Chain A
Amino acid sequence: MKYKTGAGRTSGTTSWTEDPNAQIAAKLKALYQSVQEEAIPSRFLDLLEKLDAAEQQAVLQGRE
């Protein structure tokens, strides 16, 4: 007997009994990709720019 999907769930959800391992793999990837596909937040781009600039500044000062 298959598990019924509960109220509020999408009716297209595959029954859990069909292949739990494949479902786990697919959901894990979907979850991961949902974050991976987000644009890189500007705070990180800014941070890398700052680190880069600070280092170049240090190199310049070292030359003087």
Chain B
Amino acid sequence: MSSEKNDFKREMLAALPSLRAFAMSLIGRHDRADDLVQDTIMKAWAKQDHFQMGTNMKAWLFTILRNELYSQMRKRGREVQDSDGHFTESLAHHPEQYGSLDLQDFRRALEMLPPDQREAIILVGASGFSYEEAATICGCALGTIKSRVNRARQRLQDILQVQGENDYGPDETSAPITSRAFVS
């Protein structure tokens, strides 16, 4: 019993770096991402009797984090729609939090995706889940995940291409706005 408990804790610890990376990729801000991870840990701890040792702890935690994020977004209402604008603004003020310049552009583009496409491409393209696992985590059909990933790729290409062309065009503040106009 108590060794099973230790296993649970150890597996949870092992999954934390990836869980944080998932949260950061979804939200874009360290403080809010870590708050979400904290909520997820507490939810998971309370639900640990539902977890079967030997099954995929990472997928289980990702599912909880995702459900928690969307339930918080529903409660906060409008903030969901505003997330990309808010994010690009915070980027401009705290560039040091977001890695290299090159990655900042990419992160900004990622933030412009609809949330369902964003999570799909992150789960499959970065977290290392199969399409099947990603579909389970998102609670949708396999075909839906595949089409979301494809649309995400296409959209990222479009956004990044526009950003590249705008290098000599609008300044840093207006560039996100103009490139968003192209994709919306």
Contact = CB atoms under 8 A, between A and B. Distances in A.
Contacts of B25: 28, 31-32, 35
B76 to A, nearest CB: 22
A3 to B, nearest CB: 5
Interface in B1-57: 5, 9, 12-13, 16-18, 20-22, 24-25, 34, 37-38, 41-42, 45
Contact of B161 (A16, A21, A25): A16
Nearest to A33: B21
Contacts of A7: 167
A9 B102 contact: yes
Given A20-B161, A21-B157, A13 B37 contact: no
B17 A47 contact: no
Interface in A17-42: 20-21, 23-25, 27-38, 40-41
B143 interface: no
Interface in B94-149: 99, 101-103, 106-107, 110, 121-122, 125-127
Interface residues of B, number: 39
Nearest to B121: A28
A64 B25 CA distance: 47
Interface of A: 3-10, 13, 16, 20-21, 23-25, 27-38, 40-41, 43-45, 47-48, 51-52, 55
Interface of B: 5, 9, 12-13, 16-18, 20-22, 24-25, 34, 37-38, 41-42, 45, 99, 101-103, 106-107, 110, 121-122, 125-127, 153, 156-157, 160-161, 164-165, 167-168
